[in-house]
Amino acid sequence: MLGPVILAASRSDRMRRFISAAPGTKQVVDRFIAGEGVDDVVPIVVDACGRGLEVTLDVVGEDITTPEQAAAARDAYLELIARLKDLGLGTKAEMSVKLSMFGQSLPSPTTALNGEPSGLADKFPGGHELALANVRPVVEAAAEIGTTVTLDAEDHTTLDSMFAIHEELRKDFPQTGCVIQAYLFRTEDDARRLAAAGSRVRIVKGAYKEPASVAYQDKGEIDKAYVRILKVLMEGDGYPMIGSHDPRLISISQELARRAGRKLDEYEFQMLYGIRSDEHVRLAAEGHRMRVYTAYGTDWYGYFMRRLAEKPANLLFFARSILTKG
Ligand SMILES: Cc1cc2nc3c(=O)[nH]c(=O)nc-3n(C[C@H](O)[C@H](O)[C@H](O)COP(=O)(O)OP(=O)(O)OC[C@H]3O[C@@H](n4cnc5c(N)ncnc54)[C@H](O)[C@@H]3O)c2cc1C
């Protein structure tokens, strides 16, 4: 029951101020966030790749309120890509982006960049086009250094816009990936549409607070949906990326991949930085592609709260560390 309460708190400015200022917070945040800036994260990337892992890098900070912040988000990714260029890691280091941070979450009006009405305001309210305009140079820069970008899935109200941007980007950059969430009723259909040649799709359980009208609420139902979607992806022609720490789902994925005749480099596992790190190494040592989703940046509140919501024990640890430091 705690998960939904924590997810609700992740939208509260008062809680954000309280938690950000609490004395024990940093110690707990550091478990999940790889550092504040590019200089912190680059050595972590080098170390992970040196140990046979791969990474997808996320600059945290989805709660923007101005177009200038959206442009700054774009620039932060461009700075990261410029640094990765020197490392020559290719697809071993890719990027994950949240379109909200690129302007999708900004309120209307939806105008084209030249200021003319775009005609899309009914279909995609908010900053759909701004997000597309900001993410495109990042996808281009990633392609120039031989890697790619995956569009994260946020709450269900943003997904039509995300899939439309994904489709648009794939016209020029077919390797652009996207994420689908097993908890949503719509996702089996999305998976069928996306499981086509050349597509890269990450399947996750889903981390947002969603109403019963659009999403399974029961963990068992979500796991069953995850397996159904996995089957669609494994039997399809795309490249499945299995985003989960759940040992049962990982062994089911291996079995489904085997049954679908997929070789080890025809799918990959993905886990979050700081969670089940031994498992990252174990799967990589078995010959699997294992990509660690590595988040960094100063605006970590939303990302951190979702990690607390996923595992109530994290909350207890967090509460203890606030009390002992406070
Ligand atoms: C690479 C990656 C990318 C993701 N991208 C998105 C996205 O774009 N959109 C989205 O909605 N969600 C995303 N998520 C989050 C996802 O939706 C789940 O909330 C999260 O992965 C927890 O689900 P699980 O599959 O690991 O299974 P669970 O059943 O939640 O966890 C299985 C086990 O993993 C461990 N574990 C899981 N979470 C934690 C945690 N926070 N702290 C400590 N241990 C933990 C525990 O041992 C737990 O028993 C992503 C997850 C991963 C791994």
Tokens 């659009």 — which residue?
A: 214
Residue 123 tokens read as 């279909």
**Active-site residue set:** 152, 202
pLDDT of residue 6: 86
> Measured from the CB, is residue 235 less than 6 Å from ligand 1?
no
**CA atoms within 13 A of residue 104's CA, in its CB half-sphere:** 26
Closest atom of ligand 1 to CA, residue 205 = 17
* Residue ranges of the binding site for FAD: 181, 205-207, 219, 244-245
pTM for this entry: 0.94
Q: How far is the CA of 151 from the centre of ligand 1 (A)?
A: 17
> Measured from the CB, is residue 208 less than 6 Å from ligand 1?
yes
pLDDT of residue 245: 98
Q: How far is the CA of 308 from the centre of ligand 1 (A)?
A: 10
Parse the chain into domains and list their residue ranges. 34-299
pLDDT of residue 324: 74
pLDDT of residue 323: 73
Quote the strand ranges of 41-83, DSSP E: 54-59
CA angle centred on 164, ends 134 and 302, rounded to 5°: 60
Beta bridge partners of 151: 97, 178
Per-residue pLDDT of the chain (326 residues; tens, 9 = 90+): 678 888 888 888 888 888 888 887 888 899 999 999 999 999 999 999 999 999 999 999 988 999 999 999 999 999 999 999 999 999 999 999 999 999 998 976 544 445 555 555 556 656 999 999 999 999 999 999 999 999 999 999 999 999 999 999 999 999 999 999 999 999 999 999 999 999 999 999 999 999 999 999 999 999 999 999 999 999 999 999 999 999 999 999 999 999 999 999 999 999 999 999 999 999 999 999 999 999 999 999 999 999 999 987 888 888 877 777 65
> Measured from the CB, is residue 226 less than 6 Å from ligand 1?
no
pLDDT of residue 110: 47
Mutate to test the pocket of ligand 1, among 184, 203, 241, 310 (most ligand atoms within 8 A of CB): 310
* Residue ranges of the binding site for substrate: 98, 306-307
Q: How far is the CA of 310 from the centre of ligand 1 (A)?
A: 7
Amino acid occupying residue 217? Q
With CA atoms as reference, report the closest residue to 194 among 150, 154, 132: 150
Tell the residue nearest (CA) to atom 8 of ligand 1.
152
Query: 112 with 118: CB under 8 angstroms?
Result: yes
Compute the CA torsion angle 272, 278, 279, 282 (nearest 10 deg): 130
CATH code, 34-299: 3.20.20.220
With CA atoms as reference, report the closest residue to 90 among 291, 272, 247: 291
